[in-house]
């Protein structure tokens, strides 16, 4: 096969996370067979699964949170008691000790004291189990993305994780579960069937917690009649609007309410474990709305949990779902305005294969449209930072460096502003302030590269012959390696995909 | 893989630090457990050596202008320095004049504590910054040798004393000149703003040719109208051009080196000398850079206190710039340039040169000041007479295969 540099750039950037500087052969591999390079990862058994040492299951993490919360409560109670007894015998000194240590005065930055080898740093508060877990999960994800050969499967995981997003900001439960949710509900299915993915996501405790379904009670259920609490439509609405049919997918408010009734009782076992092992998905028949429900023109008899599962399975097969998913998929990987022919092609594959996501994914990378469309999309911040780490050939060890960058650039990990996830268009990521921040970050990263790095060589690693003459010249003419590296990271060849 | 750190943004948002504080780093400073041979000599000398690398290639003809050369004024055109006028250059002798932005250097020169080596160059004769910096810092005759730098190998040639300083926090990357087997430790000024304007402008230029949408976005992001890539010239913006950065780095380095048990040798690198467009004459972009460098000399002088008399600062750059100005009132990559020696131990008040002249026939490749001195010889002279390193080591180890390049004599008091 003829060498295809432009195809290599598309393979690496549009479908993957960019070339790895440490391996230095990614561009050549991709150029010799771009489609094969992207496809290779898909056939590896369990390619999307992530099982790093120390990462725990959702029920185990639930127990960690419950333990942690109990500890905090006990400490607070002890502190309250101590304060009570202290109030009896006032003691100014103990009050002083409670004050936070004052940060070093900034005006002293250049005083002789500031010349000490290690400027005194405020002792950081030790991380609690929730923060530790979040970081460990983030590290495992970033390491996997950094080391993958092409990264296509990790890009798929990121896409589906954003499609079926939760927010780690919802509460302690969701922060500790964010990584486990992706590992347990998303990863096993990104190359499987959409219906299975949908079921796994909507039954995962993290999603039930994020969209409040554990609070939703069938009004005529035993619990509803007893406690006078009722439906919460949040999850049902987002399932149809954001996860499957799309906002104009042909459903009505009546359908939303129906689906909400159908999935009442979908919850997770709580701290006391009355319904099951704490932190596991359970069907609470006591909260489930009894009776048949009509949804999208079809009646679903009340058979308990299978009622909702049948409804989800049908929604997954709905033509609107095929169209909505194909559109989002092509928008993410190809263009803000997805080519209609490609969307139609993928939609057909989705429908005819009963939502086989591997078949749809293969159809994407077989389609010439997907390869020949101009590279107009901006890398999302996560892709930009991971691609940078890959080019530097550095295995991430401290997730904070990435998490901080993601916060700055407006894509905090697993923490979108709403259930619709992070935007997937250039308007969101090629904005003036964002671009300036990327430049600041690129300069900061570049200021730490050593003289042993030749940016001209790294441009070849990243873009090979597909690099433009202008970019090559800009890098060659930079006045230092550090500047050249910053310019490489900001070049269209590195920012666009 | 090379050692690179993706330490871009740790916890900044968590601590509520603004994004401006990202712009840190840039200069490195090092110390080690070696003492100069003269440290305990009978006359009580305890030498200090500072090497300052100017990245981007300094215009030597604008820094120390050969005003007496009949061809200078025309070649340098609108940016040429003059004897008279509101921004008159400082005459160092009847032929050479110093850029007016360097009053401290002028004072030190008058006090015979500063010297100029003119028409000097490394052995490198091409025009790539990276390769030129490799040659300058590695001490080898050609590019591609990146394992160690000449200053580090000079250290290895010194007697190993007790560790004169330890426990310094490791800062950004050590310049190649100081990398190698001899241990070094780094220090980073607490807040050293990065000179990012030049990078931003180069990126704007690339985007405007390749990616108009990104150009539009970045231009807004930078508020490029204020940065003035336009004909209005490059006005300094507080906090962005790193106005205080050189002084800050010098002040910190001097403070550390002044201590009895402080490091004796340091290397610093300053960016921003690649003046292709609107270089400026007595005022302008280069003038600002020279003014900051001049300020760094003053910081070293005051910060080192009594040690100043035992100090030599060597200022060098990877190559010079064209003798003729180009179409955008700047200069392009050239060859011969100046090296500056400053400090109490410098036998100064002199311009050391075998002046080649600026007639077209005398220019190197009809473009550049022709080098008549090898920078290695200048540095060898300093290393031998200031630190006590022998000629043989200098010729074989510090600057390999350089026996033909003799150490310059009489540079040190």
pLDDT digits 0-9 by tens, B75-121: 999 999 999 999 999 999 999 999 999 999 999 999 999 999 999 99
Contacts B176 to A, Cβ<8 Å:
451-452
Give me B305's structure tokens.
């206190």
Nearest-CA distance from A63 to chain B in Å? 27
Q: How far apart are CA B377 and CA A439, in angstroms?
A: 40
**Which residues in chain B are contacts of A405 at CB distance < 8 A?**
8-9
In this prediction, residues B371-382 reach a mean pLDDT of: 98
Between A301 and B13, where is the model more confident? A301
Of A400, A451, A490, which has the smallest distance from its Cβ to B10's Cβ? A400
pLDDT at B323: 97
A396-425: average pLDDT: 92
Does residue A451 sit at the B interface (CB-CB below 8 Å)?
yes
Across the interface, of A114, A483, A484, the residue whose CB is closest to B190 is A114
Question: Do the Cβ atoms of A442 and A489 come closer than 8 Å?
Answer: yes
* Predicted confidence (pLDDT) per residue in B17-47, tens digit: 222 222 223 333 443 456 677 776 667 788 8
| Beta carbon pairs, A and B, within 8 Å | 207
Of A134, A215, A201, A191, residue with least CA distance to A166: A201
Distance from CA of A285 to the nearest CA of B (A): 44
| Joined tokens for residue A246 | 């799309």
Cross-chain Cβ contact B206/A487 below 8 Å: yes
Check CB contact of A450 with chain B, cutoff 8 Å.
yes
Sorted by sequence, the CB contacts under 8 Å of residue B239 that are 6+ apart come out as B20, B193
Q: Could you tell me which chain B residue has the CA closest to the CA of A115?
A: B252
CA distance B88 to B97: 9
Query: Is the per-residue pLDDT at A277 higher than 70?
Result: yes
pTM greater than 0.95 (yes/no): no
HSE-CB at A102 with a 13 A cutoff on CA atoms is 4
% of chain B with per-residue pLDDT over 90? 57
Tell whether A405 is within 8 A of chain B (Cβ): yes
Shortest CA gap B312–chain A (Å): 22
| ipTM of the shown complex | 0.86
**Mutate which of A451, A453, A491, A492 to test chain B, going by most B C-beta atoms within 10 A?**
A451
pLDDT band, very low/low/confident/very high, at B254 (cuts 50, 70, 90): confident
Question: Chain B neighbours among A 418-447 (CB < 8 Å)?
Answer: 426, 430-437, 439-441, 443-445, 447
Chain B nearest-CA residue for A124: B15
Task: Give the position of tokens 């994407």.
Answer: A364
User: Mean pLDDT throughout B247-267?
Assistant: 82
- Half-sphere exposure (CA, 13 Å, Cβ side) for B98? 26
Do the beta carbons of residue A357 and residue A189 sit within 8 Å? yes
* Inter-residue contact A236 to A306 (CB < 8 Å): no
B182-239 residue pLDDT tens: 777 666 665 444 446 889 999 999 999 999 999 998 888 776 434 333 333 333 333 3
d(CA B313, CA B375): 14
Q: What chain B residue is nearest to A449 in terms of C-alpha separation? A: B4
Taking contacts as CB-CB distances below 8 angstroms, the residues of chain B near A119 are 169, 190
pLDDT(B140) > 70: yes
| Helix, strand, coil share (%) of chain B residues, nearest 5 | 35, 15, 55
Strands (E), A144-285: 266-268, 281-283
Taking the C-alpha atoms of residue A324 and residue A314, their distance in angstroms, rounded to an integer, is 15
Least confidently predicted of A136-145, B187-196, B383-392:
B187-196
Token output for A33: 């067979």
Checking DSSP bridges between strand B265-270 and strand B48-54, what pairing results, if any? parallel
How much of chain A, in percent, has pLDDT values that exceed 70?
Answer: 92
Task: Calculate ∠ Cα B66-B70-B74, nearest 5°.
Answer: 90
First to last CA, chain B: 44
Please give the biggest Cα pair distance in chain A. 86
């Amino acid at each position: 096969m003829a060498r295809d540099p432009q195809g290599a750039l598309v393979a690496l950037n549009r479908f993957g996370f960019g070339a790895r500087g440490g391996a230095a052969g990614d561009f050549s591999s991709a150029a010799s067979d771009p489609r094969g390079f992207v496809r290779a990862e898909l056939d590896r058994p369990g390619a999307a699964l992530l099982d790093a040492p120390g990462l725990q299951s959702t029920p185990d993490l639930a127990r960690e949170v419950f333990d942690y919360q109990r500890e905090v409560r006990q400490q607070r109670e002890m502190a309250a008691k101590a304060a009570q007894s202290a109030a009896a015998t006032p003691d100014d000194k103990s009050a002083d000790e409670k004050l936070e240590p004052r940060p070093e005065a900034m005006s002293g930055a250049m005083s002789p004291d500031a010349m000490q080898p290690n400027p005194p740093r405020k002792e950081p508060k030790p991380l609690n189990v929730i923060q530790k877990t979040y970081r460990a999960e983030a590290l495992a994800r970033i390491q996997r993305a950094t080391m993958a050969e092409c990264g296509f499967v990790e890009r798929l995981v990121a896409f589906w994780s954003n499609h079926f997003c939760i927010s780690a900001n919802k509460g302690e439960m969701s922060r500790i579960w964010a990584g486990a949710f992706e590992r347990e509900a998303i990863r096993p299915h990104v190359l499987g069937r959409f219906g299975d993915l949908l079921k796994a996501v909507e039954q995962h405790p993290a999603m039930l917690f994020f969209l409040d379904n554990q609070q939703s009670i069938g009004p005529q259920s035993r619990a509803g009649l007893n406690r006078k609490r009722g439906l919460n439509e949040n999850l049902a609405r987002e399932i149809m609007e954001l996860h499957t049919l799309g906002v104009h997918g042909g459903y009505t408010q009546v359908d939303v309410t129906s689906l909400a009734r159908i999935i009442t009782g979908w919850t997770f076992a709580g701290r006391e474990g009355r319904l099951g092992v704490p932190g596991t998905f359970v069907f609470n028949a006591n909260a489930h709305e009894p009776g048949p429900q009509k949804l999208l023109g079809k009646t679903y008899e009340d058979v308990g949990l299978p009622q909702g599962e049948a409804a989800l399975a049908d929604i997954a097969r709905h033509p609107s779902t095929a169209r909505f998913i194909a559109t989002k998929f092509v928008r993410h990987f190809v263009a803000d305005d997805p080519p209609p022919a490609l969307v139609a092609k993928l939609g057909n594959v989705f429908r005819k294969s009963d939502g086989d996501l591997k078949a749809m994914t293969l159809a994407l990378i077989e389609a010439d449209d997907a390869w020949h469309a101009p590279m107009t999309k901006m890398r999302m911040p996560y892709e930009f930072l991971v691609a940078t780490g890959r080019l530097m050939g550095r295995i991430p060890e401290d997730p904070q460096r990435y998490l901080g960058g993601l916060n700055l650039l407006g894509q905090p990990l697993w923490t979108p502003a709403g259930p619709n996830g992070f935007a997937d268009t250039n308007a969101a990521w090629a904005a003036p302030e964002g671009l300036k921040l990327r430049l600041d970050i690129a300069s900061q990263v570049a200021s730490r590269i050593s003289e042993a790095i030749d940016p001209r060589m790294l441009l070849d690693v990243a873009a090979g012959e597909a690099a433009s003459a202008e970019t090559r010249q800009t890098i060659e003419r930079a006045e230092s390696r550090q500047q050249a590296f910053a310019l490489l990271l900001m070049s269209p060849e590195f920012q666009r995909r | 893989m090379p050692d690179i750190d993706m330490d871009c943004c740790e916890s900044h948002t968590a601590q509520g630090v603004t994004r401006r504080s990202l712009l840190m780093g840039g200069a490195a400073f090092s110390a080690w457990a070696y003492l100069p041979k003269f440290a305990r000599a009978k006359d009580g000398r305890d030498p200090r050596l500072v090497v300052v690398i100017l990245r981007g290639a300094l215009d030597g003809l604008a820094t120390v202008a050969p005003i007496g050369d009949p061809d200078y004024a025309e070649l340098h055109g609108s940016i040429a320095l003059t004897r008279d006028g509101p921004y008159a250059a400082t005459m160092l002798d009847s032929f050479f004049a110093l850029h007016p932005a360097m009053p401290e250097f002028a004072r030190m020169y008058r006090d015979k504590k500063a010297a100029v080596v003119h028409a000097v160059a490394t052995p490198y004769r091409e025009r790539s910054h990276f390769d030129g910096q490799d040659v300058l810092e590695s001490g080898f005759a050609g590019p591609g040798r990146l394992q160690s730098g000449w200053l580090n190998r000079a250290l290895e040639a010194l007697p190993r004393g007790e560790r004169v300083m330890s426990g310094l926090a490791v800062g950004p990357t050590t310049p190649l000149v100081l990398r190698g087997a001899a241990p070094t430790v780094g220090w980073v000024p607490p807040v050293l703003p990065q000179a990012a304007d030049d990078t931003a402008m180069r990126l704007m230029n690339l985007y405007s040719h390749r990616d108009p949408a990104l150009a539009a976005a970045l231009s807004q992001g930078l508020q490029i109208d204020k940065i003035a890539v336009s004909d209005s010239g490059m006005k300094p913006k507080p906090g962005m051009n790193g106005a205080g950065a050189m002084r800050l780095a010098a002040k910190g380095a001097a403070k550390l080196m002044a201590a009895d048990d402080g490091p004796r040798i340091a290397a610093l690198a300053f960016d921003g000398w690649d003046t292709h467009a609107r270089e400026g004459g007595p005022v302008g972009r280069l003038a600002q850079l020279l003014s900051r460098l001049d300020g760094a000399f003053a910081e070293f002088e005051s910060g080192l206190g009594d040690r100043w008399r035992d100090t030599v600062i060597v200022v060098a750059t990877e190559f010079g710039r064209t003798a003729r100005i180009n179409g955008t009132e700047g200069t392009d990559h050239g060859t011969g340039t100046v090296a500056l020696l400053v400090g109490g131990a410098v036998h100064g008040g002199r311009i050391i040169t075998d002046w080649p002249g600026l007639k077209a026939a005398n220019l190197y490749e009809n473009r550049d000041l022709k080098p008549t001195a090898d920078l290695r010889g200048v540095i060898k002279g300093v290393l031998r007479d200031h630190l006590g390193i022998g000629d043989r080591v200098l010729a074989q180890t510090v600057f390999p295969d350089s026996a033909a390049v003799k150490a310059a004599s009489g540079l040190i008091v």
